[in-house]
Structure 1
Amino acid sequence: MGIGKKTRNIGHIVEGMAKETTGKALGNKSMQRRGRAEQAVGRMKQAVEKGRDTFRH
């Protein structure tokens, strides 16, 4: 996995965690859902990249 893509995927995960935590603190359910969704996107992309690396090497 390229360092740029790995960093971007981890960024999605961290940003999602921040949104979810902020949503919990403010009682904003919509923000919590968006945060969880963003985390899922980051984790999914990271898994896809790891799979690609497995088949390349």
Structure 2
Amino acid sequence: MATLVDIVPHPAGAEKGAVLELFNAVGESIGVAVVPLSAVASLRSDQMPTVRPLVYVNKVA
């Protein structure tokens, strides 16, 4: 799951970016990502979330 934190302009004038805060299955914040705004969609009532273990690669302390 993610929460939209901000919408930012692209430095070269391309598509705007969405700053997202990412959460694990129990609601703990696990990171922040910037993705193209077109990659973000609201949750729908006909969707069912799934859960799988998270594996950290090169985790920064």
User: What TM-score, normalized to structure 1?
Assistant: 0.29
More strand by share: 2
* Structure showing greater relative contact order (alpha-carbon pairs closer than 8 Å, 6 or more residues apart): 1
More helix by share: 1
